[in-house]
Structure 1
Amino acid sequence: MGTLREAMGYPLLRAGILLLVLALLISAAGFYRVTKSYSSSGTLGEGMHYLGDDKFETDYVYPNRTLVVQSENATFSLLQGDEMYNYTLVNDSLTLYPAQRPVIYVFKGRVEYNYTVTAQDYPYAIYSLVAFVLMLVGVVFSFMGYTQFLRDVKEGKK
């Protein structure tokens, strides 16, 4: 029976294993993540105000939102999808953790806010498609090289 050293002498098997190792390294690079953040602050008068950057919040995954609202005397509503939360602040501040991009409707007074979003970005995740193709080609090459090796062992060439 042939040995591993003899099997690695077949170019297709060697190329297939090399492609599989390369695919594994490229796919591991896809797990690299970067934390991105966005922040805005200001003063809101009466009316409806959309906070945040829609492009930022849809481009990145797992956004964590923090909204700090303070006022001397204000009545406002926080809209979250289909739900509305009403607040009245008198010389107080409020920290909220909205699940979606917040919309604030100020009924009376002025509201100061600080809105911060942190999210995760995986910049090399797109290369996992390349790794998948390399993995498929590597499996085919390895299989073809291994069957050549087995055929030669059976015929007594190795």
Structure 2
Amino acid sequence: MGTFRDAMEYPLLRAGLIMLVLALVISAAGFYRVGKVYSASGTLGEGMHYLGDDKFETEYLYHNRTLILSSSGANLSLLQGTEMTNYTLVNREITLHPSERPVIYIFNGSVNYTYSATAVDYPYAIYSVVAFVLMLVGVVMAFMGYSQLLRDVKEGRR
């Protein structure tokens, strides 16, 4: 049986192994992550207010949200999905960590708010599809090259 160097003389086997290594590198690049931050602050009057950015909230993963509310005298409700929580703020500040994009309904008064959300983005994750295709083609080509090598060894050419 030949050595690895002899086996690399078969173009299909060599191309298949190169594709497999390339697929491994591309798929490893898909694990690269980038932190994203959204922040907003201001004063809210009476009525319903949707905090946050809809695009940011839906585009990125694993949100960590912080909402700081303060007022000298306001009644409000915080809506998160189907859960509603009522607050009365009289010269105080509260810090909340909502699990979803918050919606605030202010009954009376005005509320100062600071909303920040951090998330994770995987910008190279889409290339995993290319890595998968390379892996499939690489396996087929390496198998064909290895079959050629075995056939040559059996026939005594190697």
Common fold by TM > 0.5:
yes
Q: Distance in 2 between matches of 1:149 and 1:139?
A: 15
Q: Distance in 1 between matches of 2:31 and 2:118?
A: 18
Encode CA deviations 1:26-79: one digit per residue, 9 max, x unaligned: 111111111111111111111111111111110111111110000111110000
Q: Distance in 2 between matches of 1:5 and 1:155?
A: 19
**Aligned partner of 1:60: which letter?**
Y
- Equivalence map 1:7-156=2 (5 Å): 7-156=7-156
Instruction: Give SS of 1:113's match.
Output: strand
Q: TM-score, normalised by structure 2?
A: 0.98
**Aligned partner of 1:106: which letter?**
I
* TM-fit CA distance, 1:81: 0.8
Instruction: Give SS of 2:90's match.
Output: strand
Unaligned ranges ≥5, structure 2? none
* TM-fit CA distance, 1:109: 1.1
* TM-fit CA distance, 1:3: 1.9
Q: Distance in 1 between matches of 2:12 and 2:25?
A: 20
**Aligned partner of 1:133: which letter?**
V
* TM-fit CA distance, 1:10: 0.5
Q: Distance in 1 between matches of 2:127 and 2:116?
A: 30
**Aligned partner of 1:117: which letter?**
A
Q: How many equivalent pairs are there? A: 158
**Aligned partner of 2:117: which letter?**
V
Instruction: Give SS of 1:67's match.
Output: strand
**Aligned partner of 2:16: which letter?**
G
Q: Distance in 2 between matches of 1:82 and 1:34?
A: 31
Q: TM-score, normalised by structure 1?
A: 0.98
Percent pairwise identity: 73
Unaligned ranges ≥5, structure 1? none
Q: Distance in 1 between matches of 2:114 and 2:57?
A: 16
Q: Distance in 2 between matches of 1:63 and 1:32?
A: 17
Could you list the structure 1 runs, at least 4 aligned residues long, displaced by more than 6 angstroms after superposition.
none
Q: Distance in 1 between matches of 2:93 and 2:156?
A: 84
Q: Distance in 2 between matches of 1:60 and 1:45?
A: 29
CA RMSD of the aligned region, Å? 0.7
